[in-house]
Amino acid sequence: MSGARFGSLLEGLPASPQPDELFTTLAALPGSRIERIVSTGQSSPDGFWYDQDWDEFVLLVAGAATLQVEGEGDRLLSPGDWALLPARTRHRVAATAAGGPTVWLAIHAGEPGSGTGAE
């Protein structure tokens, strides 16, 4: 058996808004973590900025979101849009669509404590 895994980023989405975003780790590889994030109208708290020690690549799969990058302003993201956020790039989610799930694929590269194998 090869150990291959398959799935759908659009499977099992919530039918109604949730109190919090849903984070699902799809794979934890040496130095990297791949996750699905499902937002249902959430945004980063006022004044909060992500400021990570690792690179992050995000792809908006479904829905819509406004991403703020410090010093670069707002960027409206639609399905298929992606961003590469190098380590120490301060960013936040200003808004996500409230009318249905917003689905992100996030790849964290060089993250301390990332897994050592597939989960």
DSSP code for 45: P
Position 74 scores a pLDDT of: 96
Instruction: Tell me how crowded residue 9 is: count the other CB atoms within 10 A of its CB.
Output: 16
Position 49 scores a pLDDT of: 97
Determine, yes or no, domain membership for 115: no
pLDDT band, very low/low/confident/very high, at 115 (cuts 50, 70, 90): low
Whether 39 shows a pLDDT value over 90: the answer reads yes
Position 118 scores a pLDDT of: 41
Determine, yes or no, domain membership for 4: no
Q: Which residues of 22-38 are buried (b: 16+ CB within 10 A; e: fewer)?
A: beeebebeeebbbbbbb
CA–CA separation, 13 vs 17, rounded Å?
A: 10
Determine, yes or no, domain membership for 49: yes
In whole numbers, what is the pLDDT of the chain averaged over residues?
Answer: 92
DSSP letters along 66-101, please?
Answer: EEEETTTEEEEE-TT-EEEE-TT--EEEEEE-SSS-
Q: How many structural domains is the chain composed of?
A: 1
pLDDT band, very low/low/confident/very high, at 119 (cuts 50, 70, 90): very low
Mean pLDDT value across residues 100-105? 97
Determine, yes or no, domain membership for 116: no
Range of the domain at 32: 22-109
Q: Report the CATH number that the domain containing residue 90 is assigned in CATH.
A: 2.60.120.10
φ and ψ of 107, to 5 deg: -120, 115
